[in-house]
Amino acid sequence: MRTILISGANSGIGLKIANKLLSEGNKVSLGVRNIEALKGTIIDPEFWPKNQILVNYYDAFDDNSPQDWIANTINQFGGFDTLINCAGIFSRVPFLYNKKEKDEIYKTMKVNFLSVWELCRLSWENLCLSNNGRIITLVSMSGKRSKGDLPAYSSSKFALMSLCQTMRNKGWDKNLRVTAICPSWVNTKMASKVESISKDEMTQPEDIAELCSTILKLPKQSVPFELSINCNLEI
């Protein structure tokens, strides 16, 4: 069993991953912006043993929150060996943006890239100490190719993909393995306005949770670096 930090577990993919890994007996430390919003959900701490789940406040724009989260996790569980990065936002800011949209570009880079880098940096020592560490990051197919006029979002995801490659190389000799999961449309709130494909035809959050579970069971010599997941054909 593993001890796992999961960001962005309030909803969507992160919530389903947390539920899956808890159900398998892992210890899970959740980093969420809205702790109260977990009440009544499938990962409500009231439904799980107290020695298995820890809920922490985490916000990409609060520079103290990742340090506090990590410290609380170490205090509760003695350490951790896995970090799963699920927090992220979508942006429709176009290439020819106006002045009012400029702040959204910085916000997108902060949440999707810089905050992930910071959380991984702060977690690095503990992940390496385990000698069997794992980092799984939800990137996107937008981190592999750019479609449409969404440069803020795709740029943040290209940067995130580069970060994953750097961490893979840096952690290799410490037996730390990194996986970048790159789905296209997933049936979450982020894709609620998509009309080109039905919700049933999209990848489901439970599918991503199943993949994460499998990755964490694999030996270090078999952990994939990149998983590209298409729910529709791209040529």
DSSP string, 101-166: GHHHHHHHHIIIIIHHHHHHHHHHHHHHHTTS-EEEEE--GGGT---SS-HHHHHHHHHHHHHHHH
Query: How far apart are alpha carbons 48 and 54 in whole angstroms?
Result: 10
CATH 1.25.40.10 fits 3-229, yes or no: no
pLDDT of residue 58: 97
Active site residue 153: yes
Domain residue extents for the chain: 3-229
With a cut of 50, which residues of the chain have pLDDT below it?
Answer: none
Q: In what order do the strands lie in the sheet with 134-138?
A: 53-57, 27-32, 3-7, 82-85, 134-138, 177-183, 226-229
pLDDT of residue 128: 96
43-63 pLDDT tens trace: 999 999 999 999 999 999 999
Residue among 57, 97, 106, 153 flagged as catalytic: 153
Q: Please give the angle made by the CA atoms of 177, 156 and 200, to the nearest 5 degrees.
A: 80
pLDDT of residue 235: 57
